[in-house]
Amino acid sequence: MPGFLKKSWRVLDDRLGISKNVMPILRHRVPPRASWWYVFGSATLFVFILQVVTGTVLATIYVPSTQSAYESMNFITHSAFLGSLLRGLHFWGAGAMVLLIGIHSIRVYLMAAYKYPREANWLTGSLLMVLTLGMGFSGQLLPWDQNAIWSVIVGAEQAAKVPYIGRALAKWILGGPTLGGLTLSRFYAAHVFFFPGLIFVLLGVHLYLVLHHGISEPPRAGHPVDPKTYRDSYANLIRTKGVPFWPDAAWRDVTFSFICVVTIFLLALFVGPPPLSKVPDPTIIQASPQPYWYFLWFFALLATAPHGGETLFIIATPAVYFLVMFVLPFIANKGERSARRRPWAIGLVIMSVIIIGVFWWKAKLHPWVPAFDAEKLPASVVRSNDPAVRRGALLFNERGCEFCHKISGFGGERGPELSDVGDRLTREQMTRFIMAGGYNMPPFASVLSADDMKNILAFLSSRRVPGGSPSARSAK
């Protein structure tokens, strides 16, 4: 009965003012060549909506108490109908948010859309980025498993390194002198109430500003921003060449966001959420805490920063980055927008991407984590009948060398591989390393007896490239 529907729509429209107020906003004019580069902001928004929806739904089962957080998370993951998928959506959505907000800010930066008159857009956006990282960090604690509690302790210890206010800050994060039930509650309140509340408000301001100033036109080399003339030239562009946002530009936003959502869905379905680690008992010493993948690069930075450089790398460098981010619209709000005329901007972005990328790659290999579960070298690797060599191979495992050194595929990667150390170092050189240690190697002088040393040296000297083990050579 189309007539009846038409009438109902007319009444609804009249009372709600949709055609009068909402549709004009949807159809407001935007620059004509706003292309696929412009889809990242809306993608971030849609993924945020995904997070709110999946998070709210997860909250119908998750219990934020120390007694039940782990168990309820376990239940969601293994027993609740579609629980694993929901957790997966929320986890991969979180990663997508961090990635997308990074890409969006890079795009805005490279197109200098932070310049006049959109400085406030940039500032609200920067705050939104900080809050997004806060959501990513606070969310990791909520499963309340072993990985979660140690990650928060590491986070609090990093905060403690801030000059002057560090210890107070760390204590405030933990909710007391030590990690406890209060920590979980404050992180839950932050993750579910404080941060989202602030995000909603800032998002509202951010979107209002986008509508107020209009979407920035693609920059052109030779057309710098001049506050005296910009507003007029922009209004002119929109009037003469503008296209309606819906659907001329919006269809790209919807398409890309759809791709993002499908990707998140497939990852949630086929890879799933991160498995829960052990129960959050701080007296279980066997722990190897790791942040979620979007913070792994920072994890690598913490492990490889030069000794004594913690305050510089953990606190000062990110602080400078954020300071520059917030100060940017105050110091650079005029002039050329095109990246072609801004080589420093391109350089900064490339440098940042490379730095983060390299740390991510390094973290994936995690070469600094000792191989605590390294197995004793089998006979096929030792390849010797010499009792000294065999005893040395045993000591190589028992004295902890294998935690950090690899031989023929067995062992850790903290230190250099020793599969062919017999070719590279003399016994004197080996003795010096073992006795006195090195930059990242502890000294073993007080741990090894003279007999131990003799056997270990025999073993290490026998480590040579294939072509002759000592026993084969001596047999000849």
Partner 1 sequence: MTQTERKSEPSVILQLRRDLLAGFSVLLGLAGAALIGAPVIGFLLAPFVRGKPRVWRAVGRVDQFKIGDTVQVTFENANPLPWDGFLRNTSAWLRQESQGHFVAYSINCTHLGCPVRWEPGAQLFLCPCHGGVYSRDGQVAAGPPPRALVQYPVRVQNGLVEIQTTPIPLV
| Residues binding partner 1 (CB under 8 A) | 65-67, 149-150, 153-154, 156-158, 160-161, 166-168, 170-172, 174-182, 279-283, 285-289, 302-303, 305, 307-308, 310, 368-370, 372, 397-401, 403, 414, 437-444, 446-447
CB of 298 vs partner 1, minimal distance in Å: 11
CB of 146 vs partner 1, minimal distance in Å: 9
> Among positive and negative, which fits the CA dihedral 358, 298, 286, 274?
negative
CB of 350 vs partner 1, minimal distance in Å: 27
CB of 66 vs partner 1, minimal distance in Å: 4
Length of the chain, in residues: 476
Query: Toward partner 1, which CB reaches closer, 314 or 457?
Result: 314
CB of 349 vs partner 1, minimal distance in Å: 28
C-alpha angle 32-37-40 in degrees, rounded to nearest 5: 120
Query: Toward partner 1, which CB reaches closer, 226 or 398?
Result: 398
Nearest one of 202, 219, 268, 248 to 44, comparing CA atoms = 202
Taking the C-alpha atoms of 363, 367, 371 and 375 in order, what is their torsion angle to the nearest 10 degrees? 120
Taking the C-alpha atoms of 425, 426, 427 and 432 in order, what is their torsion angle to the nearest 10 degrees? -60
Are the beta carbons of 230 and 117 closer than 8 angstroms? yes
Cross-strand partners of 30:
243
Q: Identify the three-state secondary structure at position 225.
A: strand
C-alpha angle 241-346-235 in degrees, rounded to nearest 5: 20
Are the beta carbons of 334 and 224 closer than 8 angstroms? yes
Per-residue CA distances from 183 to 57, 145, 175 (Å): 23, 13, 5
How many Cβ atoms are within 10 Å of 238's Cβ, its own excluded?
18
CB of 195 vs partner 1, minimal distance in Å: 14
Peptide bond into 117 cis (omega under 30): yes
CB of 451 vs partner 1, minimal distance in Å: 15
Query: Toward partner 1, which CB reaches closer, 157 or 420?
Result: 157
Separation CA 86–CA 72 (nearest Å): 14
CB of 167 vs partner 1, minimal distance in Å: 5
CB of 58 vs partner 1, minimal distance in Å: 21
Query: Toward partner 1, which CB reaches closer, 123 or 401?
Result: 401
Query: Toward partner 1, which CB reaches closer, 344 or 439?
Result: 439
Round to the nearest angstrom and report the end-to-end CA distance of the chain.
100
Query: Toward partner 1, which CB reaches closer, 310 or 386?
Result: 310
CB of 160 vs partner 1, minimal distance in Å: 4
Query: Toward partner 1, which CB reaches closer, 265 or 403?
Result: 403
Q: Which strand (E) or helix (H) includes residue 469? A: none
Query: Toward partner 1, which CB reaches closer, 356 or 369?
Result: 369
Query: Toward partner 1, which CB reaches closer, 61 or 394?
Result: 394
Separation CA 105–CA 284 (nearest Å): 41
Per-residue CA distances from 192 to 48, 79, 188, 198, 421 (Å): 13, 24, 6, 11, 54
Query: Toward partner 1, which CB reaches closer, 101 or 404?
Result: 404
DSSP letters, 242-293, are -EEIIIIIHHHHHHHHHHHHHHHHHHHHHT-SPPP-S---TT---------G
CB of 241 vs partner 1, minimal distance in Å: 44
Alpha-carbon Rg for the chain in angstroms: 29
Separation CA 289–CA 342 (nearest Å): 41
